[in-house]
Amino acid sequence: MAQNGISIVEVGQHKSDDDSWMVINGTVWDITGFAPRHPGGADIIREYFGRDASEIYNELHGPALVANHLGEGKRIGVLCKSSADESSSTRSSTNVATQSVEKPPLQSIVNLYDFEAVARETLSARAWAYFSGATNDCFTAAMNIDWYARILFRPRVLTGLKEVDSSTTILEHKYSLPIFNAPASMAKLAHPDGELALARATAGAGTTIIAPTMASFSIEEIVDALPPHHPFFFQLYVNKDRSVTEELLESVCKLKPRAIMVTVDLPVLSKRESNERYEIGVAQKTASKGATGVKGKAQARSASNAIEPNVQWKDIRWIKEATGVPIFIKGIQCAMDARLAYENGCAGIYLSNHGGRAVDTAPPSLLTLLEIQANCPEILEKMEVFIDGGIRRGTDVLKAICLGASAVCLGRPFFYALGYGQEGVEHALGILKDELETAMLLVGITSLDQAHPGLLITADVDRYIYQGEGHPFAKHISRSRL
């Protein structure tokens, strides 16, 4: 090994599962054994065995994340200058083009749909495919939005309106708004500051971040972006390797989260065709390196390789006992599972179909909330209830609160706003706050604790609400085989 650094030729000699090196931003790392533990899947790591992965790494991750995952003991050395120059030149020549359309002034954005229109024109092809896509035909993703319009307001008048207060209290902490981010990975695709900008913006608006397992930055960096002692939530994917989950929970609990939200609606990654088309296109462009369309399709789903598909209620009880932190179940899609969450000691439920990224034609989250009202409304008084999916207006927020939600979460809209950085998310939250408070006054209330189902007309969707666990008339068929 040369004293002035390691050559890229030497790095290239270490490209097997039992002996693998990788270059990230001029530093050579020993990543032997890391591929199966990579939160984003093993395939992308194996693709860069013995190579410089700086470009793809920097697109998705903060600079300190690699050391956080691998540990300083895996740092081998630095790339020699000649190899570094050569690697930089290669990366520049193969860089996937991003759109360079100039964004309109932030103050010209008057609603969340405006952010989406800007994002469509300015995000990279990869970012747009990831953020905008959903499962199969995207029916559930569309219903999430459409069903809010199918529920009507029933305003009251002459109720004595003065100052309006849109604050709420969750797990004994007061927030200025009942609005949080839906925890999703790869925020850095929208802006270099990723979750750091989300954390600063939400905290500045008097709410907070739900930090995701697959964040672009470490949980420590995200919490450091918040004001001292500011509350936060953490979203957990249970890893196939129990020791990885244990280590992660230990690190998170040292930072004292208000709750841990365990995602359970994605035992396998669904077929997201926009992602697959993008990855196949990239694979075809780099076919000279041995990539194929099949490989590109596999890469689009590789993130699920590290997620444990066999999570059961006993695992939820283990997480609760191991951490001593309030537990939410994220991905509730029927009333019976909501009841089970309560019976298993959870502090809250998070109604979600993964923004239409779980099974397509699953019910919109708003229908799940109505099903809980019809079957086990008592648990709404005993647990916190978060809901995401389709929320684009302050009126949507108010409808969810009227039906018993504690708070709402937004995914895509905040990622679109993140294209403007922290200021974009702050502006989006300001828009929602104004729309929410205006809607409150127009329906005749001045605080969220006055919101109730009587302010809504749900007749257009009531026929879709199941009562009981089974189908109202269809029976399970078990055919005898002679």
Please list the alpha-helical segments (H only) found in 376-421: 394-402, 412-417
Alpha helices in 95-232 (DSSP H): 112-122, 125-132, 139-150, 194-204, 219-224
354 is catalytic: yes
pLDDT for the residue numbered 111: 98
Two tokens, residue 18: 């039992």
Cβ atoms of 140 and 134 within 8 Å: the answer is yes
State residue 295's pLDDT score.
55
The pLDDT assigned to 4 comes to 66
Point out the catalytic residue in the list 14, 38, 61, 354.
354
CA distance 30 to 224: 28
pLDDT by 10-residue block (mean), the chain, 482 residues: 75 92 94 85 87 92 89 91 60 47 94 97 93 90 96 94 94 97 94 97 98 95 97 95 92 97 89 84 67 51 74 96 97 97 97 92 96 96 97 98 98 97 98 98 97 97 90 86 70
The angle that helices 394-402 and 139-150 make with each other, rounded to 10 degrees, is 80
Which pLDDT score is estimated for 269? 80
State the DSSP string of 18-51. Answer: TEEEEEETTEEEE-TTTGGG-TT-HHHHHHTTTE
One-letter amino acid of 447? S
Report the chain's terminal Cα–Cα distance, integer Å: 71
Dihedral sign of CA atoms 115, 116, 118, 124 in order: positive
Look at the chain and count its residues.
482
Helices 365-375 and 139-150: crossing angle, nearest 10°? 60
Q: Where are the beta strands (DSSP E) in 171-275?
A: 173-175, 179-181, 210-211, 233-236, 259-263
| Sequence-separated (6 or more) residues with CB below 8 Å from residue 183 | 210, 211, 212, 213, 233, 235, 261, 263, 330, 409
Nearest to 343 by CA among 323, 362, 329, 325: 329
- Give residue 271's pLDDT: 86
